[in-house]
Amino acid sequence: MSVSVEKLEKNVVALEVTVEAEKFVSAVNQAAKVLAKKVNVPGFRKGKAPRRMVEQHVGKEALYDEALDQLVGPAYAEAVIESGIDPVDRPSVDLVQIEEGKDLIFKAKVMVKPEVELGDYKGLKVEQGAAVVTEEEVNEALKSKQEQHARLITLEEGKVENDDTVTLDFEGFTDGVAFIGGKAENYELVIGSGTFIPGFEEGLIGTEIGHPVDVNVTFPDEYHSSELAGKEAVFKTVIKKIQRKELSALDDEFAKDVSEFETLDELKTDLRNKLMKTTEVRVKDEHAKAIVAKVVDNASVEIPEVMITERIRVMLDDLSRNLAQQGMTLEQYYQYTNSTEEVMQEQVRPQAAESVKMDLVLETIAKAEGIEVTEDEVDEEIKKVSERHGQDAALLKQTLIARGELPFYKQSMTSQKTVSFLVEQNT
């Protein structure tokens, strides 16, 4: 087999592939055997008719079509490897020559990865911000710990306050008629959590246990149920139980109860140290992102639309998987956000385009600088990941190979290595 490459236009090439006549004849003969099993040729059992009879029955064109199905795909894949191109879309194939006894020649026109024109990516001197933890942040962390260890006290009497956990019965009505999904009994609700539509939780503040109260609300215009969107409603409610947080005093006894420390000062020091570690990681991450953003901004590349469209698809697939973990479908999400797939695609398009550009720039820099990830580095990273998740490293690697994900895993590691290189060169 031989291949010639012709650049047609920006980011588009044509591969002219020549397959030896012997291979084409072999493919046609195999096609006849395949078709013999699919069609009924008078006077012959299925699969037993000779090629000549099969060809008379189905026609030479059908025979050639079947042979091309077997031959063109593998020949194109081999041509891609031999030519060294990097396709980003499926090819359009045109036949140049198809005749038994002669070489099969076809031309595959395909979009390839665009060439990146790198700008300055070294010596940019992007300053890293300082990692600072304020006393206010330490006190907020301490307050959060206090909230985590608060006790819920059930009130015998009293009125609902913000942050209370209440148990209530309710039923919603619009125009005096109860609506579907608007009724519940013994429902537990944290006041101020924003679980219900605006106005509902606020309307319960000041309510006493056992006293019926009508809460008047208006459903948002963008509410997921079109039957209720923008409508006024009345919820008839009864508070059955009020639970209120009882916070422990912030003293040495509290520190002993919630940690391994003996004093409150020791606990605060530990919280400060943990906050500092988190802040240092965040500051380093922001610094790296600022460097990459500047390097990407300095580069020029014309991104094929097909690459942006594919990245949008990947982003929406990721969103769908994340929603599924929360028990929601993408279609339900569109309803709740009063959106559509088309609107969402346009919203994420700028992010998708920037993401593709960043990948292309990092890949180009990696090639220019000879940045690669070795098999040992891949194995070491897989080992770390497997240990974090309590998995067997060899099994995890085999899973990645079986799913065809190992090249992407390696590519991700190469990108991270390139980012580290850029941080070193621009700090």
Do the Cβ atoms of 397 and 331 come closer than 8 Å? no
Q: Which region holds residue 27: left if phi is over 0, alpha if psi is between -120 and 50, else beta? A: alpha
Do the Cβ atoms of 23 and 71 come closer than 8 Å? yes
Residue pointed to by tokens 């460097």: 291
Residue 52 has which token pair? Answer: 């000549």
Residue 333 has which token pair? Answer: 């999400």
CA distance 334 to 347: 13
CA atoms within 13 A on the CB side of 9: 5
Model pLDDT, residue 173: 95
Q: Is residue 251 classed as helix, strand or coil in its secondary structure?
A: coil
**Angle, alpha carbons 408-113-124 (nearest 5°):** 80
Mode of pairing for the β-strands spanning 165-174 and 232-246: antiparallel
Do the Cβ atoms of 188 and 208 come closer than 8 Å? no
CA distances from 317 to 240, 309, 324, 341, 345 (A): 43, 12, 10, 12, 12
Model pLDDT, residue 122: 95
Backbone angles phi, psi at 283, to 5 degrees: -65, -40
- CATH code linked to domain 264-425: 1.10.3120.10
Among residues 257, 237, 122, which one has the least CA distance to residue 189?
237
Alpha helices in 149-223 (DSSP H): 200-204
What spatial distance separates the first Cα and last Cα of the chain, rounded to whole Å? 50
- CATH code linked to domain 151-246: 3.10.50.40
- Could you read off the pLDDT of 247-259 as tens digits, one per residue? 999 999 999 999 9
Which fold is adopted by the domain 2-111?
Alpha-Beta Plaits (3.30.70)
Alpha helices in 247-263 (DSSP H): 252-258
Residues listed for the chain = 427
Residue 257 has which token pair? Answer: 């109860």
Q: Is residue 421 classed as helix, strand or coil in its secondary structure?
A: helix
Model pLDDT, residue 60: 79
Mode of pairing for the β-strands spanning 151-154 and 232-246: antiparallel
Model pLDDT, residue 350: 96
Model pLDDT, residue 43: 60
Q: At what angle do helices 264-298 and 406-425 cross, to 10 degrees?
A: 90
**Amino acid sitting at position 103:** D
- The residue extents of the domains of the chain are 2-111, 151-246, 264-425
CA distance 79 to 73: 10
Residue 206 neighbours by CB under 8 Å, 6+ apart: 159, 160
Sign of CA dihedral 77, 90, 61, 4: negative
Report which DSSP code applies to 229: T
DSSP 328-355: --HHHHHHHTT--HHHHHHHHHHHHHHH
Among residues 33, 37, 53, 57, which one has the least CA distance to residue 45?
37
What does each of the 427 residues of the chain score in pLDDT, given as a tens digit?
899 999 988 889 999 999 999 999 898 888 878 777 777 767 666 666 676 766 666 777 888 888 898 899 999 999 999 999 999 999 999 999 998 889 999 999 999 999 999 999 999 989 999 999 999 999 999 999 999 999 999 998 889 999 999 999 999 999 999 998 899 999 999 999 988 999 999 999 999 999 999 999 999 887 877 788 899 999 999 999 999 999 999 999 999 999 999 999 999 999 999 999 999 999 999 999 999 999 999 999 999 999 999 999 999 999 999 999 988 888 888 877 778 899 999 999 999 999 999 999 999 999 999 999 999 999 999 999 999 888 899 999 999 999 888 988 999 999 999 999 999 999 8
Model pLDDT, residue 276: 97
Do the Cβ atoms of 218 and 232 come closer than 8 Å? yes
Model pLDDT, residue 195: 87
Q: Which residues pair with 12 in a beta bridge?
A: 9, 111
**What is the model's pTM?**
0.76
Model pLDDT, residue 44: 66
